Protein backbone atom coordinates (compact mmCIF):
# COMPACT_ATOMS: atom_id res chain seq x y z
CA UNK A 1 0.00 0.00 0.00
CA UNK A 2 1.48 3.39 -0.96
CA UNK A 3 1.07 6.64 0.95
CA UNK A 4 -1.77 7.89 -1.23
CA UNK A 5 -3.86 4.76 -0.57
CA UNK A 6 -3.82 5.61 3.10
CA UNK A 7 -4.72 9.25 2.58
CA UNK A 8 -8.25 10.20 3.53
CA UNK A 9 -10.26 12.98 1.92
CA UNK A 10 -13.60 14.27 3.17
CA UNK A 11 -15.88 15.71 0.48
CA UNK A 12 -18.87 17.82 1.50
CA UNK A 13 -21.51 19.08 -0.93
CA UNK A 14 -25.29 19.14 -0.69
CA UNK A 15 -25.46 17.88 -4.30
CA UNK A 16 -25.36 14.07 -4.01
CA UNK A 17 -24.29 13.69 -7.66
CA UNK A 18 -21.24 15.89 -7.20
CA UNK A 19 -20.25 13.98 -4.07
CA UNK A 20 -20.51 10.69 -5.93
CA UNK A 21 -18.56 11.90 -8.97
CA UNK A 22 -15.79 13.36 -6.82
CA UNK A 23 -15.68 10.21 -4.70
CA UNK A 24 -15.30 8.01 -7.80
CA UNK A 25 -12.58 10.22 -9.27
CA UNK A 26 -10.55 10.48 -6.07
CA UNK A 27 -10.95 6.77 -5.31
CA UNK A 28 -9.48 5.99 -8.75
CA UNK A 29 -6.41 7.92 -7.66
CA UNK A 30 -6.00 5.85 -4.50
CA UNK A 31 -7.62 8.11 -1.93
CA UNK A 32 -10.04 6.86 0.71
CA UNK A 33 -13.06 9.17 0.44
CA UNK A 34 -15.83 9.95 2.90
CA UNK A 35 -18.73 12.14 1.77
CA UNK A 36 -21.21 14.37 3.58
CA UNK A 37 -24.18 16.34 2.29
CA UNK A 38 -24.11 19.09 4.91
CA UNK A 39 -21.62 20.98 6.99
CA UNK A 40 -22.51 19.35 10.28
CA UNK A 41 -21.88 15.85 8.92
CA UNK A 42 -18.68 17.03 7.25
CA UNK A 43 -17.34 18.32 10.53
CA UNK A 44 -18.03 14.99 12.25
CA UNK A 45 -16.27 13.09 9.44
CA UNK A 46 -13.28 15.43 9.64
CA UNK A 47 -12.95 15.03 13.41
CA UNK A 48 -13.33 11.23 13.20
CA UNK A 49 -11.18 10.45 10.13
CA UNK A 50 -8.60 13.28 10.26
CA UNK A 51 -8.33 13.66 6.46
CA UNK A 52 -5.30 15.00 4.68
CA UNK A 53 -7.69 17.28 2.75
CA UNK A 54 -11.28 18.44 3.25
CA UNK A 55 -13.04 19.48 0.03
CA UNK A 56 -15.91 21.75 1.11
CA UNK A 57 -18.74 23.39 -0.81
CA UNK A 58 -19.24 26.92 0.45
CA UNK A 59 -23.04 26.81 0.58
CA UNK A 60 -24.50 23.80 2.38
CA UNK A 61 -27.35 23.18 4.81
CA UNK A 62 -26.44 23.64 8.46
CA UNK A 63 -22.87 24.78 8.76
CA UNK A 64 -21.51 26.39 5.59
CA UNK A 65 -18.19 25.27 4.17
CA UNK A 66 -16.67 28.45 5.58
CA UNK A 67 -18.03 27.61 9.05
CA UNK A 68 -16.58 24.11 8.78
CA UNK A 69 -13.20 25.50 7.67
CA UNK A 70 -13.15 27.88 10.63
CA UNK A 71 -13.87 25.07 13.11
CA UNK A 72 -11.29 22.78 11.51
CA UNK A 73 -8.62 25.46 11.78
CA UNK A 74 -9.59 26.29 15.38
CA UNK A 75 -9.20 22.68 16.57
CA UNK A 76 -5.56 21.68 17.25
CA UNK A 77 -6.31 18.07 16.24
CA UNK A 78 -7.40 19.11 12.73
CA UNK A 79 -5.70 22.45 12.20
CA UNK A 80 -3.19 20.96 9.71
CA UNK A 81 -5.90 19.52 7.45
CA UNK A 82 -5.68 20.86 3.90
CA UNK A 83 -8.83 22.77 2.96
CA UNK A 84 -10.08 23.21 -0.60
CA UNK A 85 -13.30 25.17 -1.07
CA UNK A 86 -15.51 24.83 -4.10
CA UNK A 87 -18.62 26.60 -5.29
CA UNK A 88 -20.76 27.34 -8.31
CA UNK A 89 -20.29 31.02 -7.51
CA UNK A 90 -17.51 32.64 -9.48
CA UNK A 91 -16.38 34.62 -6.44
CA UNK A 92 -15.67 33.51 -2.90
CA UNK A 93 -15.46 36.92 -1.31
CA UNK A 94 -12.08 38.43 -0.74
CA UNK A 95 -8.88 36.44 -0.89
CA UNK A 96 -8.06 37.94 2.50
CA UNK A 97 -11.12 36.18 3.97
CA UNK A 98 -9.98 32.86 2.52
CA UNK A 99 -6.43 33.45 3.74
CA UNK A 100 -7.74 34.32 7.20
CA UNK A 101 -9.56 30.97 7.30
CA UNK A 102 -6.44 29.15 6.14
CA UNK A 103 -8.05 27.89 2.93
CA UNK A 104 -5.40 26.24 0.76
CA UNK A 105 -7.20 26.47 -2.58
CA UNK A 106 -10.57 27.06 -4.17
CA UNK A 107 -12.23 25.63 -7.27
CA UNK A 108 -15.12 27.02 -9.31
CA UNK A 109 -17.79 24.52 -10.44
CA UNK A 110 -17.87 23.00 -12.94
CA UNK A 111 -14.33 21.69 -12.75
CA UNK A 112 -12.47 18.96 -14.56
CA UNK A 113 -11.69 15.78 -12.65
CA UNK A 114 -8.03 16.08 -13.66
CA UNK A 115 -7.82 19.63 -12.30
CA UNK A 116 -9.45 18.54 -9.04
CA UNK A 117 -6.92 15.74 -8.51
CA UNK A 118 -4.00 18.01 -9.46
CA UNK A 119 -5.10 20.70 -7.01
CA UNK A 120 -5.62 18.22 -4.17
CA UNK A 121 -2.18 16.74 -4.79
CA UNK A 122 -0.71 20.25 -4.84
CA UNK A 123 -2.28 21.00 -1.45
CA UNK A 124 -0.96 17.74 -0.02
CA UNK A 125 2.54 18.43 -1.35
CA UNK A 126 2.55 22.03 -0.06
CA UNK A 127 1.41 20.93 3.40
CA UNK A 128 4.02 18.15 3.43
CA UNK A 129 6.71 20.68 2.47
CA UNK A 130 5.50 23.11 5.15
CA UNK A 131 5.67 20.38 7.81
CA UNK A 132 9.21 19.48 6.74
CA UNK A 133 10.43 23.07 6.87
CA UNK A 134 8.93 23.57 10.34
CA UNK A 135 10.94 20.69 11.81
* 53 vs 135 pLDDT, higher one: 53
Whole-number pLDDT of residue 5: 44
Percentage of the chain modeled with pLDDT above 70: 85
Give the chain's mean pLDDT: 88
Residue ranges and CATH numbers for the domains of the chain are 3-134 (3.40.50.2300)
> What phi, psi does 60 have (nearest 5°)?
-140, 160
- 35's CB contacts (< 8 A; 6+ apart) are 10, 11, 12, 13, 19, 20, 22, 23
- pLDDT value of position 51: 97
The band of 133, judged by pLDDT with boundaries at 50, 70 and 90, is: low
Please report which helix (H) or strand (E) contains residue 87, including its range: strand 82-87
Residue 24 is classified by DSSP as H
CA angle, residues 106, 111, 113, in degrees to nearest 5 = 105
pTM (predicted TM-score): 0.88
Amino acid sequence: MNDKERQVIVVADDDHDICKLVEIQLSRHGFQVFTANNGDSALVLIFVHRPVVALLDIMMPGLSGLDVARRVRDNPATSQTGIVMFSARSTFGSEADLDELGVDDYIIKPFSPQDLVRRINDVINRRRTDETTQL
